[in-house]
């Protein structure tokens, strides 16, 4: 192999590590307990947060694309979200190698810090339409972050803009939905159900809307798989103990499994 062309002089050039800020990233794993397995715990959560950042980057751009009637562009972004979701689902498999005894060696060092407080996870839930007002209180310590979360909380979700896309296509959507308070969690509407049914009954005519619906189902399906793997991993490691952040732990994680982001897209399967 001829490797004479490989560049080795970086005195005046940017390196791979500098481009990625690797010194900063790789020095951010501070074990408070010094316990061997705390490194696993930190890295899994940091990696998941990076993937969440990409999910938010793609899903917020997809919302904008749908608002601009650029559905094919949104499909590419939403397909990428689904691929990223497979990564954060599989991360639970790695964390599940942490045994209860190992976790208890450093759990007390977490204090009240908890994955329950992940603001990016909340932003993803907001973007998907699940909005709970009491959650915002967690972030009041940081005014800039609290303001950012409030903007996400009040913004239309991807399903809100998808419902508007149905209206733009000529479907008789309940007008109050199009002007509703987007800080309220969507619970369903007959006009939306009727519109999606017609889309699925005439796929050729409404191909783009059909594709949008299926992309949304992909994302909700994967998000619920992530929630389930989260719940089972927590149950495996701490059983039914209260979470470090004060939540009921497994009991809370089980309740959110029952929530549906896009109810009509699941109901339509029964109606077809």
Which residues participate in the annotated binding site?
41-45, 103, 107, 230, 244
Binding-site residue set for heme: 230
- Whole-angstrom distance, CA of residue 47 vs CA of residue 140: 25
- Whole-angstrom distance, CA of residue 53 vs CA of residue 71: 22
Element (H, E) at 269: helix 263-271
Binding-site residue set for substrate: 41-45, 103, 107, 244
- Whole-angstrom distance, CA of residue 56 vs CA of residue 107: 29
**Among residues 231, 253, 220, which one has the least CA distance to residue 95?**
231
The alpha helices in 96-178, defined as continuous H runs, are 100-104, 119-128, 143-154, 158-168, 175-178
């Amino acid at each position: 192999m001829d490797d004479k062309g490989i560049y080795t002089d970086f005195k005046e050039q940017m390196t791979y590590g500098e481009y990625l800020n690797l010194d900063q990233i790789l020095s951010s794993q501070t074990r408070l307990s010094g316990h061997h397995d705390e490194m696993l715990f930190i890295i899994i959560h940091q990696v998941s947060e990076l993937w969440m950042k990409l999910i938010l980057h793609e899903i917020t751009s997809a919302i904008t694309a749908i608002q601009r009637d650029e559905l094919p562009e949104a499909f590419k972004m939403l397909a990428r979200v689904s691929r990223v979701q497979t990564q954060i689902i599989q991360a639970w498999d790695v964390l599940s190698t942490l045994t209860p005894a190992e976790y208890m060696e450093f759990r007390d060092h977490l204090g009240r810090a908890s994955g329950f407080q992940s603001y990016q996870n909340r932003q993803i839930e907001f973007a998907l339409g699940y909005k709970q007002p009491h959650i915002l209180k967690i972030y009041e310590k940081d005014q800039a972050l609290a303001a950012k979360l409030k903007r996400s909380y009040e913004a239309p979700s991807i399903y809100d803009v998808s419902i508007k896309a149905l209206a733009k296509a000529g479907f008789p959507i309940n007008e109050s939905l199009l002007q509703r308070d987007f800080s309220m969690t969507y619970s369903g509407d007959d006009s939306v159900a009727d519109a999606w049914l017609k889309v699925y009954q005439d796929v050729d005519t409404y191909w783009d809307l059909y594709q949008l619906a299926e992309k949304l189902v992909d994302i909700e399906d994967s998000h619920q798989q992530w929630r389930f793997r989260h719940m089972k991993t927590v149950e495996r490691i701490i059983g039914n103990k209260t979470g470090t952040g004060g939540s009921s732990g497994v009991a809370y994680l089980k309740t959110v499994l029952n929530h549906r982001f896009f109810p009509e897209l699941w109901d339509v399967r029964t109606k077809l």
